[in-house]
Amino acid sequence: MRLAKIVEALGLPSVSDDKEIVGINTLEKAASDQLSFFNNAKHLAQLQSTKAAAVFVQEKFAGELPRGTKALICEDPYLQLAYATAFFAHEITAQTGRPDIGSKTEIADNVQFGNNVTVGEGVRILPGCYIGDNVTIGDHTLLHPNVTVYHNCEVGSNVILHSGVVVGSDGYGFASKPDGTHVKIYQNGNAVIEDDVELGANTVVDRAVFNSTVVKQGSKLDNLIHIAHNCVVGENNFFAAQVGLSGSTETGRNVMMGGQGGTAGHLRIADHTVIAARGGVTKDVKKAGYYAGFPLMDGKLWLKLQAKLARLLKS
């Protein structure tokens, strides 16, 4: 979509550049044919170095943009971002297509496919599954009944998706208007499930706002787990039932989380970290270890605290 048309559609001050825009991305990752936005002063360095074609920005920060990047002046850049995401959203249709299917693959009669789907060799897709547009599924992967893989997502080889798994549903993203109503931020990224991953029944991996939500190779997730948009689950992670990762959380290699453990958003968890059941992660975990409690603390210290509280109640 042409930049001038985007600006016109949003009712913003006109710009001289009529560059072709292919999408939206973060300040750090935006290319010269993408839009971005700036709504937090702590990201000023990213604004000053962005390669984006244009940025939604308040007038007071417009002078910080690098040469060649256009300022799209507005009062609320995040709200304008929300409106703009609709221009690049995938068009959802009920049309079905014929997938490109590898040898020795078994597909139940009532499985539905979108357009441009590729399925590898030795795959088994059981009844009630839906595979959206532009999806790829690797070799020897098993989809149990009623699995849904949304458009543009990728599922690797030797993957097991149990019943009710949803890959690529929208992340939870909205911008609020001054009157208290909300505007949807279309989630235009995708979700990627790498090789040798197993997702338990009714587990959900949301698609990214931009780029990809990723579950890396060898990770095993239990039932009823939620991986929010733009998360990266590291290699060989083990998550027990009802774990929840908030948006843009990244876990390292061989991280283990007990049942109902959860994180706040935009956090990093170090390799080989163990978080006990119901552990609540509110800040980065920079050093491997065993942690427990809410807010999170050293696991042995948490056990001592519980023992002292128990003795206090008896006294």
Cis peptide before 295 (omega within 30 of 0): yes
Furthest CA-CA distance within the chain: 76
Dist CA 5 CA 235 (whole Å):
43
Triad 273, 277, 278: Cα angle to 5°: 110
Question: Amino acid identity of 45?
Answer: A
Task: Please indicate whether residue 229 is annotated as part of the active site.
Answer: yes
How far is Cα 271 from Cα 73, in angstroms, rounded to an integer?
A: 42
Residue with tokens 């991953």: 197
Alpha helix segments (H runs only) across 209-315: 299-314
Residues 154-191: b if buried by 16+ CB within 10 A, e if exposed: bbbbbbbbbbbbbbbbbbebebeeeeeeebebbbbbbb
Pick from 220, 260, 267: nearest CA to 275: 260
- Three-class SS of residue 88? helix
Q: Write down the catalytic residue from 162, 182, 229, 272.
A: 229
Place of tokens 């973060």: 26
Q: In this structure, are residues 17 and 3 in contact, taking their beta carbons and an 8 Å threshold?
A: yes
User: Which residues are marked as active site?
Assistant: 229
